[in-house]
Each structure stands twice: as C-alpha cells, then as structure tokens.
Structure 1
Amino acid sequence: MKTHHSDSAKKPPPPTKPKPKMNTNEKEPLQVYCRLRPLKNLNDTCVVHKINDQLLELSPPGQPKQFYKYTKVFDTKYDQHSVFKQTAFSLVKDLIDGQNGLLFSYGVTSSGKTYTITGSPQNPGIVPRTLDTIFNTLNKNGLQNIRYGFKPNNQNGFEIVSAPDAILKMQNEVIYATPNKNPRTPRKRDAYDWENRVQEEMFIKDINCDNKYSVFVSYVEVYNNFIYDLLDDQLETNKCSKRIVEDTQKRYYVQGAKEIEVKSSQEAFELCIKGMKRRRIGTTKLNNESSRSHSVFNIRLVQAPLDIEGVEVIDDSSLIRVSQLSIVDLAGCERTSRTQATGNRLREASNINNSLLTLRQCFDVLRENQKSNGNKIVPYRDNKLTHMFKSYFEGDGKVEMIICVNPGLEDYDETLHVCKFGEASQDLVTNRGSPFKRTPLRPISNFFIASSINIGPPLPNNYIEDPSDNETLKNWIMALEKRAENHEQNRIIVDEYQQNVRQTIFELNQNNTLMEQQNSVLKMDLVARENQLREYENKFSHMKREYEDTINRMQHQIDELQQELSTVNHRLATTEIEKSNLRNEFRHYKRSTKECWKSEFKRLQKHFMEKVQEAESQMEKKIATNQEKLQLLRTIINNEDDLEFIRPPWMSPLKSKPDTEIEQATTTNAAATIDVRSPPVVNPRHRRSLSTDDAKWIEHRPPGTMNLGTVFQPNITSKRKKSVTNLKTSDFVGKSNEIASKYALTHHAATETGGVETKVYKGDVLPSITGGSQVIFNDVEKLVQFPCESDEANITIRKNRKRLAEMFDRMTTTTTSSSARSTPTVTTATSSEQSEMITLPTTISSSNYRNGGGVGNNTPTKRKKYLQQ
C-alpha cells in the first residue's frame, strides 16, 4: 500500500500569477451549423439523417449509430435564403454595429461548401446576400459617405479625406481615365447571369444614423501555404505572394492586399466574381471543379461620426470605427487514395490537408486551455490560414462555422471526422466584442437637427468635368452663398444645443460618480468572494487528499478480500466434491435400506389393522351405551314444561350437600336484582295518543310471536292499522293517502330470572329519494314478565340447573374420552359443542331486527345456555 508521508512533507509549488479575468457575460461559444447536400445519385445509400433541428445521426450499415449535436441542422428542405437568415444575418448586424465576424465552411470535397458560400444566379449564396443586406441598409437610410471620403493608410487602418479633395479625386479619375481601345466583346454567359441574379431584400433596422459609412472589399487565397491577392491585376503575370503582419491593435492582416471601395452590391459582387475566376481550381476524380486553395473574401465597413450640423464627417481619424467580416471558403479535405492525385494535384492535396490539420490542432489546444486554464502555445504560425485569423480565435469577434456533409456512404469515413470536429469545436468560447458607442460630439439625431437648423439649399449633385462648364460652377457658388447667410442663425441654435449638452454632461457626470461608488463596493465584494473562493479551494485540495488516501485504503482492503474470496472458492470446490461423494453414498444406502423398510412396513401394517379392529368393536359398544343414556335424557327433558318438576332423589335439596359457592353467587345475584330505582317519570313522548291518531300504522308481528296472555297488551286503536306477519314492499307502496306513515315491531326475549321481556319498536316511515321507503325508529315500549318466587326457590332452581349441566358434561366427556377415533354413527366433539347440539323446545321466541324495516328472524335458544343462567 502506498504511503503519502512524502507528499505531505513536500514543499508546495509557488503560486502562479493570476490571469486577468474576463467578463463571462461577454463570452459566447463558437456557433457550428450543419448542412446536408442532396445525394449525388438517388441509388446511393444514405447514412446521414437529420433527427431534429439540432441532432444528426450517422448510421452506417453493420456499425452502431452515432449522434452529433449542433447549433442548427439544415437538410435539403432549407433554401439559400433560410441558411443565410439563420447563419450570416447576425454577423451582418454585428458588422453594422462595429464588431468583427468570421464565417467559414468546412467539409470534404464535393460536399457543397462553394455552393453555400457563393451559390448560383438563381440561388445566390451567403456572399451576395450579405452584400445586398449591407447596401440595402445603407441606401435605405442614405448613410453612404461620398466616394474617396475614406482612404486606406496601408497599416490596416483608414484616414478621413475632406469633401473637396474627394470630389477632386473623382474628377481626376474621370478625366484621366484611359479609354478602352479594344472593342467590347459580348459578355460571357455566366457574367450576364450574375448581373440578373436574385436580389436579397433584407436589411438591418437598428443602425446609427449619426455616422457615415463606406464599404471596402478584398479577396485573397491561401494556395500551397502562400497568400495571393485575387484582386491584383498583375497576378497572372507576376505571382507575388503576400505576407501577414500585425497592426497597432494586435490584429493580423495581409500586407499589400488591395482594398477597393464599392458603392453597390453589384459592384462588390463583380469584384468577387473577378477573384473567383482567378482562384485555383483543378479537376480530380471526385470533383471536376475542385477548389485547390482556401479563399477569403473580406468586407470592411468604415464609419465615422458627422459634425454638429449633420452634413460632413468630423475630420478626426481617431473617431473612425472599422469592422470586418471575413467569409472563408475552405478547400475540401480529401484522401489521395480516392482522388488518385499525382504531381501538382498531390502537392495541393497535401498542403490542403496540412492546413486543415493545423486548424483542428489550434482548436484542440484552445479548448484545452480554456477548460484547464492552461498556457499551452497554440500553433497559429504553423500555417498561413490559422495565422491570418489568430485575432478571431483569441476573442476579437464572433466566429461561426458551417460544416457541409455529403450523406452518401462513399464519403462516410471523411464525414465522420468532419462531424466529430464540428461538434468538438462548439466547446471553444470566444469573447464578445464591445458594441460601438456613439460619440458625445453628436448626441442629437439627424432628424431633430434637420428640423431645427436651416442649413440652406443642398449642394448640387453634378461635378465639374469640363473646364468650360460655367453653369455647374455658378450653381455651386449660389448654394454656398445661401448657406453662408444662414450660418449666423444656425450658430445661435447651436449654442442652445451646446448648453443642453453641457447640462446633460453634468447629469451624466453625477451618475458616473454614483456608478463609481457602486463599482468600488462591488470590487470590495469581489475581493471578499475571491478570498472565500481560495478557502474553498484549500478545503477542496484537503478533501481531495483525504479522498485519495481513502481510495488507496479501500483498494488494499479489496485486494485482501479478493484473496479471501479465492480461498473460499477453493474450499467451496472441495466441499462440492465431498458433497458429490456423500450423495453417491446416500443413494447406495437408500437402495440397501428400501427393501428392509418395505418388509417392516408390511408387518407393522398387519399388526396395526388388528389393533384397530379390536378398538373399533370396543368403541361401538361404548357408543351404543352412551346413545341410550343420551336418548333417555332427551326424553326426560323434552317432556317436562318447567325445570321445577325435574327433581330426582339425588337432586333433592335435603339430601344434597350445600354448595357454598353457588349459594353465595345466587344470593349476590338476587340482591343485585332488587329494583331500587325511583318511580318512573312521565314522558310526553310516550303518551297514548301517538297510537290513536288518524295515521296509518303497520303492526309487524314476525312469525313465532306469541300471545302471552298478559294484562298489558300492545294496542293500536287507529282505524287505518294494518297487521302483517311477513313484511313486503307492497305494504309501503300505494296512493299518497294510503301510504303508511307509522311502523311498530313486536319482539320477545328471555330475561335472566326466567321471565319474558316484550319490546315494541315504534318509528316513522319516510319516503327515500330513490322511490322506496325507510323507517326511522324513535321510541321503544318494554313489558317485562317474571315469576314471583321466594329466594330459597330461586336458589334451589339455580342449584338444580348447575348440577344438571355438570351431569350432562360428564356424560358427554365420557363419550369423547372413550375413543380418539370417530365412527359414522357418533360425532366426536367437546362438551360445550355437544351441549349446543341439543335443542330444547321453548315458549320464548326472539326477534332480531336488522337494516331498518326488516323482518325478524326467530331462533330457538340453546338448552345449555339456558341451564347456565
């Protein structure tokens, strides 16, 4: 077992310098979209299926299914417009807001990457639709700056050019333009089709109208790890590669690449088509027009705030905001065994695969650094493609990727790697760029200033192209003079605006001071939370060490238990062998003793049958004698009306010994039966008029009810009385004036002293909601009848009853104990059971009323119970 004394005594490493923490609210994951192209041949096997909008399934024949999740999955039902709207439209919005973006397509060769990026004239791709959306937004709000209002400074930045200089440059361009000496040839078919392509009509609604905008485009390619400018007219004669440099803002760009200003989407896309024609395209076995290089189309939007009058751009280059959107069409990864490339094609394929491999390696290292907070060096410089977009991968803009997939079986191996790379890339997190803030020099919108300040007539739209054109010059002079007249009036209005702005700035400063105070409080809270976090980290490290110690200790115990288990298994195997031997010995012993058991069983069976026959003959004689005695006793008891006359000589009170216990109990009972209650109180509810009214009564006397001949008798004098023995439903049903409303039930019961108790239960008959009737009892009349005898007679009767019961028990017990085997003629039971089987006649019947309104059930009393009373 390992010990940890050396680890605990080991000096802990020095703490590393904490990295600057970034705001997690400004982070966002890399968005990965998946697009499925149609099958090349309808007879091909489809192994890639869309499960839902985010789940993709790969199900090759004979292999387990695999699932991959993406931001969005586009199948063949989605057209180019839908793909652009859900992928690149958000990047265009960020571009207008002054933020950077990167979109690149990734996939195997002939999987639809170029079609997604460029498209066709009838179905334009992402690039033409992006250009249309940008210029739709600028032209709708009239926010385009004049041509040459901005110019590149050859250091990845721009400078502001004054309006007169820009106009002069436009005039020189017209004057010194070299005429085309060669006659124009008819346009090619594809160029004509692109001029008549489908236009995208979408635009951005939220745009800062206090700025002027200009659009610049550039187009480069990475071929065999060299960068070439596709918009350079000398590319075909002088193929000079470009290099990547870093600007003052730590952004990387291609030095010397042309950035051309465009004023319409058509002009911009013509440059894109021009560069596409110069791009390296080759023929392979898998694709006739296979891209042999990675192309990067850059759209740069330059914006600067307007002056206080909202007419011209403020001449301050520090206020310029430049945002860039790079759309990359990566060459497809391919296997040389399938393309059968040789020579230059083999070299191109090798460079393409190396660049894509470097891209995957960069993503893996970035993802690992972000998860473990590591400092591994990302190999950006291993390839020009990753070196160019280093700033994007490190958080300078939003990154999106579209992986294009061919669902056919022949590309399954390459498609599997593409899907894995796309799903893993979603773990990469980039920083959200800060939005472009409005300059404080122009806090009022153009519309509000234009409605308050009268600038004057607009400047003429035409320019002086001919030195002899005096009319145009006169128009310019008149417009400028008119504007000079309104300058003083506008100055007063501007002063008022400035005063309002100062007041606004003062209020903002107060709010800023308050925010700073709150910020200091939050910083203190942050420090406290960081200290708490360090304590938790220390506790976690301590718990981790304890956990490791516990794991090692448990592992040692597991090893010991496994050794014990092996020993037990060995013993168990030995026991099984012994058990098998014992089982064989038992079978042999069983066979040897079976014959002995059979012979012994026959001998004992014969002897037992002889004993049984002898016992049965003796039992039959005893049972016959007992039956005669029982029959005599039944005859004596059934022929007597009262127990008072059953007095044999041996039961005479003069000859019998005094029974102290019975006398004492009888005396106590006699004393207890003395009625010491007070005279009854008259209750109005028991008045006689209740049974003599005009209501209809049903007098229910169940079968077995006797006329005892007592002086007091139940008497219902109502004329509408109906006496019944067996109660029926028809007794309660009839016409409304014939339905019974009263019910009386007569019931007899025996008392403890041998008398008779008569009870009359009275109640009201009420109709039920189901159409029947129900009886609610509300009164009971009780009549008790008992003999008037002396205490001595009662004691004698009780003694005789006790002795008669004892005699009866002795007789039945003798019958039971004489034999333990039953016969068909005698029933063997206990003394109490046999006594209850003898039913004596009685003159008292009991009625048990159940379920309101039911009929009584007369049950004879048991003689044994009567004797025991």
Structure 2
Amino acid sequence: MIRKGKTPRRPPPKKPSNNQKDPVGVYCRVRPLGAEDGECCVEVISSTTIQLHAPDGLKANRNGEFKETQYSFKKVFGIKTTQCELFEDVAKPLADDLIHGKNGLLFTYGVTGSGKTYTMTGSPGQGGLLPRSLDMIFNSIGPFQAKRFVFKPDDKNGMEVQNQVDALLERQKRESQQSVPKTPSSRQRVDPEFADMINPDEACKADDVDEDSSYSVFVSYIEIYNNYIYDLLEEAPMDLIKPKWNGAGTPLRHNTEFIPPQSKILREDQNHNMYVAGCTEVEVKSTEEAFEVFWRGQKKRRIANTQLNRESSRSHSVFIIKLAQAPLDADGDNVLQDKNQVNVSQLCLVDLAGSERTSRTRAEGSRLREAGNINQSLMTLRTCIEVLRENQMCGTNKMVPYRDSKVTHLFKNYFDGEGKVRMVVCVNPKTDDYEETMLVMRFAEMTQEVEVARPVDRPICGFAAGRRQRNQAFKEELSRRLEERGGPVDGEPPAALNQLLQSFPPLPASELSDPNDDHTIPRLIEALEKRHRIRQMVTEDYNKAANMLKSMLQDLDGNLMSKENFIQDQRGRLGEKDKMIQNQKNEIDRLEKKSKMLEYKIDILQKTTNIYEEDKRALQHELESRDHRLQREVSEKKRMEVRMHGLVTDEKLRWQKECERRVNAKELEMQNKLWVKDEKLKQLKAIVTESKTDSRPDQPQRPSREKDRVPAKRSASPSPVPTGPPVRPMHRRSHSAGAERWVDHKPSTNVELDTVMQPSVANAIKVSAPSEKALAKCDKYMLTHQEMASDGEIQTKLIKGEVFKTRGGGQSVQFTDIETLKQENPLGPSRKRTSSETGPNQEECKDGSWTDVETRCAVAVEMRAGSNLGPGYQNHGYSKRRKP
C-alpha cells in the first residue's frame, strides 16, 4: 500500500526587508475619581510619568512592602483630557496609516471599571476613538469612494473588483431584498443617544490622499467570549420549521425564536495573515451608516452587572475597519480590473474585558467561568509579550505561545511586523484597585519595551498621476466652450439668450369689446409678425451655433480620433513592453525556481553534511569515552592486581601463622593423648600383672578374637570396639514399633564423589548438624567424615553408633563401627600395604603371638561418649535433664 505524502506548505511570500523597528506605543489615561470611591492612589507627575501611592492599611499589613512607585509611558492623559485630544495623539496616526495602505492595532487594557469602553466608544457629544476614526476616514475619502459592490470580499481575507454591470446588478438585487425586511432586526435604527457623537468643529481629515484611486470601507464586529469567536453582525436566522403545539395536539404557531449564534474559527490566508472565517463584512458609505452597524452589533455584546461595574464587559470586542483601495484605469473613469492591484489595509480597534478578582466581584456560576476565561486570555497576552521581549533583548528564539488564546492568535501578525501597535492603559485611581492597577502598570511598562517592525509603503499602480484631475479639467473646458457658444452651463440659459428673450415685443391686449374695433387686430398681427421675424432670426442663429458646435465637435472628434490612434499606438507599445516584461518575468520565475531548487538541494546537502558531522562528532565522542573507560579499566586492573597481590601476601602470612598454631595445638593434643594412653596402659599393666599372679602359670589365657573385633563393612582394616558395658546405665529403645531409623549426619562441607557405590540408608533423617530432636526419633546414628589420604585421594569414613536414652531424659550415642570408603584409580600404580594398613602386629597374629596385653589393649580401645576416634572424629553425646 502506497501512502500519499502531505502537500507541502507553501512558503510565505517574501516581504520587503525593513530593519527599522518602532516600540509598541503605550499610553496611560486616568479616569476621574467617583464621589463614592474615597481615597486616590494615582498621581500624575508629568506628561509621561504617573506615581502610585500605597494605601495606609496595605502598608501596615505588609510592613511597608508596597512603596511609592513611578511608571513611565509614551504619554499620560489626566482626568481633564478630552476625547478629541486623546484621538489626536493615539488614533489619528493609525487612521492616517490606514488611508495610506498600512495596518494598525489599537486596544484598551485595564481593570474592570477603569473606563476602557468609554475611551473606545464615548458618549453623545464626546465620541471615543472608534467613531472619530470612522469620521476621519470618510472625511478623507468621501469624494473618491467607489459605488457599492464594485469591491467585493472573496471570503478569504481578500478583495475582488467587479465591473460596472455586475456591480449594478448586485445593487439592484440588494435593493429589492431590502425592500422586504427579512428579520425584525433590519428595522432597527440608530439609538438617539448616539446620533451625534462628534462635534462638527472637531472633524479632521488626512492629507495627501491619492485622488487617482477608488476606495471602499468594510466593517466587521466580533467578540471573543469564553475563548470562542462570535460574529455580532450575523443575522440570526429564525427557526420556521419546528412548530409549537398546544394541549389539543394541534400546531399553535410556528417557532420564530432565533437560533443561537455559532462560533467562528480562525484561518490563515495566502499571505499567512490570520482572519475570522465566515465573518460578516458590511460595506458602508458614511460615518452614520458605519456607526449604525457598530451599534447594531453593540446591542448583541455580552455585558453583565457585577460588584465592580454596572455594565461590565464579559467578552473582548474587536471592531475591524477594512479599506479597499484600487487605482483608476488610464482614462481615469473606472476602477482598474486587476485583483493584484487592490490594496487592503485594516485597523483593528479592540476593547479588552477588564481583569478582575473573583474575591472582589463575588462571581458565581457562569460569571465565575467568564472571569476565569478573561483572566486566562489576558495572562496569555502577558506571556506572549514577555517572550517577545526576552527574544528581542536576550537574542533567544523561544516560541511565542500565540495559539494559547484566540486574542493573541488573531493579532500575532501585528507583533510580527504587519502594522503599528498602540495600547491605551486605563486606570481607576481608587485605592480598592491598587494591587491590580500595579500589576497592570508593570505589564504596560514591559510592553513598551517590545519593538515591532515598521511597515513599508506599498506602491499602488504605475500610471501617471492626475487622471481624475484631467477628466475634470476636460469637462470644465467643454462647459466653457459651450458657454462661449451660448450653450447651457450647469443647466442655466446663457446671457445672450436672456437678452434675446427680453427683446421680444410684448403682445398687445387682444380683447375685442366693440365689433367696429379696427386697431386691436392689426396691432396683434404686427406684434406676431415681429415675433415671427425674431424667431426666424433666433432659429438662424441657433442653426449657425449648431453647425459651429457640430464642426467643433467634429474637430474634437478628429482630435479624439487622433488621440485614440495615439493611445492605440501607445497601447500597442505598452502591449509589446508588457510582453517583454512578461517574458522577463517568466525568465525571472524560471531562474527563481531554479535558484529555489538549487537552494533546496544545498539545504539538503547541508543537512546531510550536518548529520554526518553530528555522527562523526558522536563517534569521536564515543571513541574518546571508550578510550577513557579502557584507561580507567586498565588502571583499575593494575590497582586491583597490586591490591590482590598484597591480599595474597597477607593471607599467605596469616595462613602460615594459623598452620603453625594448629600444628602446635595438634602436637600438644597428641602429647596429651599419648600421656593418657600411657596412663591407661600402666593401669592395664598393673591389672594384668595382678591377674597373672592370681591365675595358674601352666594355663595361659588368650583373648577371644570374636569378642574383641568389631565387623567392618567394606573396610580395609577392622576397627576395634569396646566390649565392656557403658559408663552410665542406658535404656535401649524398643524395636517392636517397626524398623530401625537412622540419623544421617552429613556436614555441609562434604564433597560429592559421584561414585557407583554410595551408602544408602532407608528411613533416615538427613541433618547437617547434630540435633536433639532428630536423635529422639531414631535408633541409629551415622556420621560421614572426609579427609585426604596419604596418596592424595579422598577417603570417606562412616562412623556408626547406637542411640540410647539416658536416665536424665537426654540422648546418648555409642559408636560401634567405622566404615572406610576410599576412591582409587584402577590404572594407577599399586601400592604395598604398609604395616599401618594391615593392622598392628599382623604377622604376630599369624604366628599366634597376638597375645600381648599392651597390644590388645592398644587395639581394644573403648569407644564411649566423649572419647576421640582420631583426627576430626568425636563421639557425640547429648543429654538433657528434666526439670522437677
């Protein structure tokens, strides 16, 4: 499956480079203090500086944390500033830029109840910035406005130019639609309170207006409520489909309620400028009409009564004035039919909702949500200003979070250099707003540190200037010539014609009172004949003037023909030049495309080179890190070798000392054992000597070998076992309960030999250490002991014994047998059995001379509890006394 890639985004058009930047113009306006407000905390120091005084209670509570602070602005307007003075300094430059094809943004900012809406809108006789801007625009372009529907929005933030016929049809269609009103809202009129907003004496106009261009003004009005955009000029359609029903089940009347407005979305046009998609744009031709449209949308704006303001704005309102400007054609009569020559500039007047604290307004429900969204949008505006300021002052390139709020997202182009930005900070001087006013002052002072690129001038058209003046001069010249020839001038008869009419003889009285009157009719006939002659003379003069005018018109037509021929020649030359220019443009486009392709390839190669360089640096860094790690490992290994060598040496010395100590201890132990054996032998010798003296000398006594020897299983030599009774009387366990049970004691240090013949004991309890609990359950005991033989092989000894109960309640073990298991290599050299392997005095036994008392006593060693069986063996006895 082949997946199609996304269409690459078209790069933005190259804008004229302009390194000149202007800071954001921030102005401050202080509203008058109300009668119920009390103490004032704001003082105007100069025309550019204000000072904030902290209230006394606030100082006492915070130990003087808030002090008297001063803030500077571009200009400060006190309480006596009029709306006209404010407009002259703040909004008039922006309106002048709008007429000359540049964009502008003006917004009011401040706490709730600080006078933002009054500054923007005004009151009767004291119009604000918005109506005065509209008045200046129409005063400047009034004589040069195009007819309605010559300019038409294309719904993509651009303008189209229609010809005269299409514009006329559009006007007729709109007039027919307006004759029958669609909705009750179309019958609204301007509010009488706002009929006269501006004093005629305060009217102003722009200078240097291009008279060879045609203008049209379009206005739109939106609000941003809860971070959603709504069109205030949109005609809400009526729901005529769903009828309302009465109780009888019949339709009572149709539902004429309005459908709630739908929110709009922001989009980006081909020039990467943001605009509101589907927003209503109304073409207006006068200040009154524009303000009527504004007031129609103002009535739909969301306001509410709060603790701080009776009519508090709950949304941000944006009034957009678009001015479409296009040059006239070469004749100076009609608008040039070229969309590329249309220049659209806009002025955005923004009335921001006031920041407020819910603890002061005591808002609940929807009011609380509105306040939260207002504060969030204003916080986003502050964040964007802070990031812009940091990028410009510190040289960073952080992303400005325009998209976090609709307000900042809509006006991001202005901060990127699409026009001038002005802000009016409104301040309420009462002490209750001190803390919030201080935050507003800090934000305003930081805002004026942000710089915006200065917009460049845009050329309109390449025709020669003065086309409209030449047409007017031609009309005036034609009227003058007609006046000289006696023709009408501005609809009035000429002076010669007036004299001629006055020279007509008056008609005599024509009343006949007598049938014999012969004077009245002849006088009437004479007057009529005289009038007829004058009429003929006037007719002749008229014909002469007409012929003369005809000839003049023919001459004028000839001149016009010659001019037309000249114009045709010039147009032909212009066509050739246009073709040449078009060819050059095509060649330039081809070269630009080739240049872009090469730049694209260069970028790809540069990116590839950067990737390889990054890989190279990464590999070098990895190689260096591995070299360092290897060196550290080598040095660590050397240190470890030295350390282990020292440890081996210390361990070797320690084991040498330990072996010497053990050897000395073993020698001492063996000496003690030999001394004990010597003492026993002496005692036995004394006993034997006594027995010999008591017995008969002719009958020698021989020990019984059956009683002295203990059978050994798989043993190289028989092990002696004592035949005498135990030291303490013991009770043997009864075997009537079942088979014998063994305790298999194997120490954890034993080595598994993996031989075929392994000792296997049934019903055995395997333990690794002696346990009284295991001995109490068993009858037999077997201890496994391993040691190294003289030939280097491992020798295993199984030392067996019986378990007895003692009278004290404990357990005792008496060893009775020793099995010796030895692992040998059958292919190894055979060894001769030494005397120690064959047993002591074996040859003597063969001869029958194994009757020595000392020899028998040495062999028949009694194995009792606590006696030693050799190196590493001990008889284990356990006893436990019962408590009474």
Q: Which has the larger radius of gyration?
A: 2
